[in-house]
Structures are given as structure tokens and as C-alpha cells.
Amino acid sequence: MIGNERHSLVSVIGEDMLRHGKLPLLLLVAVVVSAVMVVTTTHKTRLLTAQREQLVLERDALDIEWRNLILEENALGDHSRVERIATEKLRMQHVDPSQENIVVKQ
């Protein structure tokens, strides 16, 4: 004769899983852990990809600025070269703006 004992469904399933289903329970835990790790890895990968894109944009901006500075340096270098040639070879001198209207006759 079967006793009139009442068991909750959750406790019966839990006991059955521990008694007869250790391998499926272990596989379930492994699948859940694996899924959490995949989600975490995907999130970190997306963050790193976004950070890499930001760094590439910054590098491009710095590269453009560097090119502009080189162009500016070359432009300024040309003026100093012209001034040096005018002073050394042509013996030109700077004119004082306050004495610009004075004409020197020789």
C-alpha cells in the first residue's frame, strides 16, 4: 500500500535529478556557464572594437595635424631662406618704417 505522503513537485524533481541525472545537470551547468562567458566575451570585444575605432580616428586627426605642421614649417623655412639670400648675396637690409619717407642721396 502506498502511503498518503505528499511531496512537492520541486523536491521530487530535485531528488530525481541528484539521484539519476547528475550528468545532465552537470551539462546544464556547463552550458549556462559557457553562455555567460560568450556574452561577456562578446561585450568586451565590442568595447575594444569601439575603443580601437576611436583611437584610429585620433591617429588620423594627429596625422593630418602633423602634415599641416610640416607644410607650415616648409612655408616658414622658405621665407627665412629668401631673407638669408637677400641679406647675404644681395646685401639688402631691413627698412625702419619710421624712416621710410627719408630718401638718402649719395
| pLDDT tens-digit map of 51-87 | 999 999 999 999 999 999 999 888 877 777 778 888 8
Cα–Cα distance for residue pair 68/66, rounded to 1 Å: 5
Query: Given this model, what pLDDT does residue 2 score?
Result: 56
Sequence-separated (6 or more) residues with CB below 8 Å from residue 87: 93
Cα angle 99-103-106, degrees, rounded to a multiple of 5: 130
Tell whether pTM > 0.85.
no
pLDDT band at 25 (very low <50, low <70, confident <90, very high): confident
